Structure 1
Amino acid sequence: MTVTAITSPDDSRSIKRELTRSLRRRKLQAFVLVAPLLLFILFMFIYPIGGMLLRSVYSPDFARAMPATVAAIAEWPGSGTPPETVWAGVARDMLALQQRNEAGPVAAALNVEMSGARSLVLKTARNAGKLTAPYREAMVTLDPMWNDARIWQAIKRLSSPVTPRFYLAAVDMKVDEAGSIVSQPEDRQIYRSLFLRTLLISGVVTLCCLILGYPVAHLLANLPLRISNILMIFVLLPFWTSLLVRTTAWIVLLQKQGVVNSLLVWSHVLTDETRAELIFNRTGTILAMTHILLPFMILPLYSVMKTVSPVYMKAARSLGANQFVAFTKVYVPQTFAGVAAGCLLVFILAVGYYITPALVGGESGTLISNMIAYHIQKSLNWGLAAALGAILLTAILALYWTFNRLTKIDIIGLG
């Protein structure tokens, strides 16, 4: 005899409510567990990157510092010289800046738009208390540069808090007097060449790491576990040493009177008069960065090579292939995932490297990251630094997307 449990509608609804509460409770527990990580990512990554992207197009500092000028110049079409109300607004704002001792940032911002404007702003701020109506005549008498229409066009461009000028400057472009976007003069074009140099050096470093790291990873993957574990310590040893120490060690090795040059002189490859320039140039940057980033190539390669069974090579040899053909046709294709992961990781790290090029790069080994640091720390042009960083970030994301689409390889999973 079969017994069938009969459940009333109320019992069925009660079970559903309990099940819903249980699922909700589990989701809440899971969220609580991952909440610290989410907060860390939000405040340490997303928020700074969002602030950088915002600063690259939003710059209200000039408008806040010179409110009377911004309000008056909004009605000026931008041709010729502005009306007396704009001159009066500048005079009032200059007096207020001098009283607050804040003329420096305004002068620096205006000097970026027009060379020589810094001294003009500082001079006018110092003498703002002496300016009287009509302000146009008083300011032109103080400095004839105020009669130049370009200075007023620069002020009008700065008066808008939302601006593309930082991105234009980041690709060596500018807005001319007619309002058209044109290239900067050749003697002021630096950022495009820096971007190309950064990509070139990063590519060379990635290639060098692949050439050096592939045989090392192959050796570690095929040696007995006891020996490979000992050798793996030497691969990981650089992570236990300060990056600054490793970089300065290359200065000792590569300088003119350093170990490498002395060894080449001792072996009669070079003479004392022809010692090689290996430091403070592009060569020093490539050598030092290759040494520092090499473990980041070896580890992904090793993780993939360790999963490749030696049976495939034996099968290829048994079918008549020699060692070279078996290695290139059978073994290497199975390690493409590790090659892709290692190359992408090393290239992305190399593009954003800062300390090593700053110490050993010199003029020809400087990367775009060093220029970003310069604008943040010294020139205080944070908008331009943010635009350079945003372009670099966009290029890396585009590179990753393209690379992933072409290779069809899951870089995260290495498979």
Structure 2
Amino acid sequence: MTDATAGDMGRAAAEARRADAAETGPVLAADGSPLKVSLNRALRAQKMRALMLIAPLLLFILVTFVAPIFDMLFRSVENQIVSETLPRTVVALEDWDAEDIPDEDVFAALSYDFMEAAERRIHTRLGSRLNYETTGLSSMFRRSGRGVDDVGEGYADQFIDLDAAWEDPVAWAAMMASPDWTAAQAEWAATLAADGEDAAGPEPLFQLAADIRQALPETADAYRSFARTVQTEDADSPLEEEPWNTVYLALYRDLTGATATNLSAYDGPGAAMLRTAADAAQGFETVDLRAVWEDMDDGWIELPVWETIEAFSDPYTAGYFLSAVDLQLTPDGVAAQPEEQRIYILLFQRTLFMSLVITLSCILLGYPIAYLLSNLPMRTSNLLLILVLLPFWTSLLVRTSAWKVLLQNEGVINDTLVWLGFVADDARLALINNQTGTIIAMTHILLPFMILPLYSVMKTIPPSYMRAAKSLGATQWTAFWRVYFPQSVPGIGAGSILVFILSIGYYITPELVGGRTGTFISNRIAFHISESLNWGLAAALGSILLAVVLVCYWLYDKFVGIDNVKLG
């Protein structure tokens, strides 16, 4: 049969199969659907079942691991407290040249912001935040919070002397409130009188009238802050409370400033009273706001205070990360911290160095133990393995406290060395409150994390390999080094990763036995979280520590290979 004939027969067979398929249609499943569609549906269902099985674990990881990491990363750059607490001041400082103390406009904005912050009791939080950058601001903000009530008092007295109606909360509300709020408030008051507080609920949130906002922009803004703060913080009504003194300050500035001409077009409630006040305000005794704030605290006329507020006014900042590497953000840019405040680079270096020493110590101590366990009879090795695991049954705090007893100058180790004559009684070894104590205690605590991976890998190495090497003329050492040791390297890698990552973030043991020279960066992170409450800096330090661990992991994978790591 020729090739041409064979080709013709093949084409004929293919055409016959296509004809049969056209007549009979696609292959169907038991339910009558095409087999291909049915298989795809079954595959999707199988994948969904597998996904549902791992969904609880995935959700647990997202909630307890991924979400906290993202929250930490966000906190390390988040700095909205300045712009949220002093919003008007931040805007006013945009035109400040940073060469001299800000002008009256900035101090007026500070007065409005600080009064509201003091009433909301959040000014101390801002003081604590800025105190991380400039020492003394926390106490300055607390003192200023006690005296800010008096800012604008001189103008309040002059307006009230001019017309007693300026002291009337109802007159103020009638002039400032929008008609919609006035109607809603009246309806709320009627419900309150008829049905009680439970039925009425809270008073409608104050709303400004559009025309008064245009006529008296500063006054309207200051009064709205007053009214809403009274409602939300004190559960009172602006119809019953006299405005803050800063509202009178704003009124004076509106009536005598650049926006005074806006009043001519205003014909709403209180228009006549406002025009009378505008004419009289030209002769009012002025108040030097700088002097008022200086009387509260001398710091307000010091340039570094305003430089700090301006430098950290952005809602997001790199200041925490700069502080974490011993730098600082200044009006002139990034600069080094004063030498006596540079501690974090040293702590990072110490943490990495001591973690490496602890890892190497665990390798040196753990390898012989794992080798012994893997080569002993099963009954004996299991018994000894229980002794390796025994420390896990004891609290970490108890084990660390035991090392304090052993390592102190009058402790068991020093007493034994003195008794044996190795050291003189007046020259006892300093084994605690230093790096030595931290390394000894942490090596003991983390040693099982090195032994277990080594043991599991060594158990998989056939003993016949060593016998074969020795039968070929190798010495015991050569057989071990050339045959056995290379096969145990994956266990060393796994144990090293475990010990290094655990040690780099350890906190309790360095805190108890490390003293001043044996603590880790994690101890400083804990300090900022629980004592100084500088969570932003703690988050930045934690983020850098996380980055260091990831870089170390990447370097290990690049030069050793993560594929070579085994747990058995």
In which range does the TM-score fall when normalised by the shorter chain?
A: over 0.9
2:4 matches 1:8 = no
| Further displaced range: 169-178 or 185-194 | 169-178
**1:30 & 1:322 partners in 2: Cα distance?**
53
Q: What's the CA shift for 1:74?
A: 3.3
Q: What's the CA shift for 1:262?
A: 1.5
2:473 matches 1:320 = yes
| Count of equivalent residues | 412
Report what 2:54 is aligned to: 34
- Which of 488, 510, 516 does residue 357 from structure 1 map onto? 510
Alpha-carbon contact 1:66-1:90 (below 8 Å) kept: yes
**1:152 & 1:335 partners in 2: Cα distance?**
62
Q: What's the CA shift for 1:407?
A: 0.6
Alpha-carbon contact 1:304-1:335 (below 8 Å) kept: yes
SS across alignment from 2:483: helix
Report what 2:72 is aligned to: 52
SS across alignment from 2:106: helix
Report what 2:310 is aligned to: 156
Report what 2:294 is aligned to: 140
Alpha-carbon contact 2:494-2:566 (below 8 Å) kept: no
**2:88 & 2:445 partners in 1: Cα distance?**
54
| Further displaced range: 373-382 or 143-152 | 143-152
1:7-406 equivalences in 2 (<5 Å)? 7-9=24-26, 11=28, 14-132=34-152, 133-178=287-332, 180-406=333-559
Q: What's the CA shift for 1:296?
A: 0.4
Alpha-carbon contact 2:404-2:513 (below 8 Å) kept: yes
**1:88 & 1:47 partners in 2: Cα distance?**
41
| Further displaced range: 187-196 or 142-151 | 142-151
**1:175 & 1:101 partners in 2: Cα distance?**
28
Closer, same or farther: CA 236–351 of 1 in aligned 2, 3 Å: same
Closer, same or farther: CA 351–276 of 1 in aligned 2, 3 Å: same
**2:93 & 2:57 partners in 1: Cα distance?**
48
Q: What's the CA shift for 1:63?
A: 2.1
**The structure with more radius of gyration:** 2
| Further displaced range: 112-121 or 243-252 | 112-121
Task: Give CA deviations for 1:348-393 in whole Å, capped at 9, x if unaligned.
Answer: 1100001111111111111100000000001010000000000000
| Counterpart residue type for residue 144 of structure 1 | D
**1:411 & 1:128 partners in 2: Cα distance?**
67
**1:85 & 1:36 partners in 2: Cα distance?**
57
Task: Give CA deviations for 1:204-236 in whole Å, capped at 9, x if unaligned.
Answer: 111110000000000011111111111111111
SS across alignment from 2:114: helix
**2:441 & 2:28 partners in 1: Cα distance?**
72
SS across alignment from 1:182: strand
Task: Give CA deviations for 1:157-193 in whole Å, capped at 9, x if unaligned.
Answer: 2211110000000000012342x21211110000000
Q: What's the CA shift for 1:307?
A: 1.3
Closer, same or farther: CA 164–411 of 1 in aligned 2, 3 Å: farther
**1:38 & 1:78 partners in 2: Cα distance?**
51
SS across alignment from 1:308: coil
Alpha-carbon contact 1:114-1:154 (below 8 Å) kept: yes
Q: What's the CA shift for 1:7?
A: 4.3
SS across alignment from 1:113: coil
Alpha-carbon contact 1:53-1:386 (below 8 Å) kept: yes
Structure 2 length-normalised TM: 0.69
Closer, same or farther: CA 224–32 of 1 in aligned 2, 3 Å: same
| Further displaced range: 131-140 or 314-323 | 131-140
Alpha-carbon contact 1:57-1:163 (below 8 Å) kept: yes
**2:453 & 2:99 partners in 1: Cα distance?**
60
Q: What's the CA shift for 1:76?
A: 3.1
| Further displaced range: 212-221 or 303-312 | 303-312
SS across alignment from 1:256: coil
**1:8 & 1:75 partners in 2: Cα distance?**
79
Q: What's the CA shift for 1:341?
A: 1.2
Q: What's the CA shift for 1:199?
A: 0.6
Q: Which runs of 5+ in 1 are unaligned?
A: none
**1:238 & 1:74 partners in 2: Cα distance?**
60
**1:221 & 1:105 partners in 2: Cα distance?**
59
**1:265 & 1:221 partners in 2: Cα distance?**
38
SS across alignment from 1:57: coil
**2:506 & 2:77 partners in 1: Cα distance?**
25
Structure 1 length-normalised TM: 0.94
Alpha-carbon contact 2:311-2:330 (below 8 Å) kept: no
SS across alignment from 2:328: strand
Alpha-carbon contact 2:75-2:536 (below 8 Å) kept: yes
**1:17 & 1:331 partners in 2: Cα distance?**
54
Alpha-carbon contact 1:103-1:125 (below 8 Å) kept: yes
**2:533 & 2:330 partners in 1: Cα distance?**
24
Q: Which structure has more RCO (C-alpha within 8 Å, separation ≥ 6)?
A: 1
Alpha-carbon contact 2:131-2:137 (below 8 Å) kept: yes
SS across alignment from 1:160: coil
SS across alignment from 1:20: helix
| Counterpart residue type for residue 468 of structure 2 | A
Q: What's the CA shift for 1:194?
A: 0.4
**2:391 & 2:427 partners in 1: Cα distance?**
32
**2:295 & 2:121 partners in 1: Cα distance?**
24
Alpha-carbon contact 2:307-2:330 (below 8 Å) kept: no
Q: CA RMSD in A?
A: 2.0
Q: What's the CA shift for 1:68?
A: 2.5
Q: What's the CA shift for 1:411?
A: 5.6
Alpha-carbon contact 1:150-1:177 (below 8 Å) kept: no
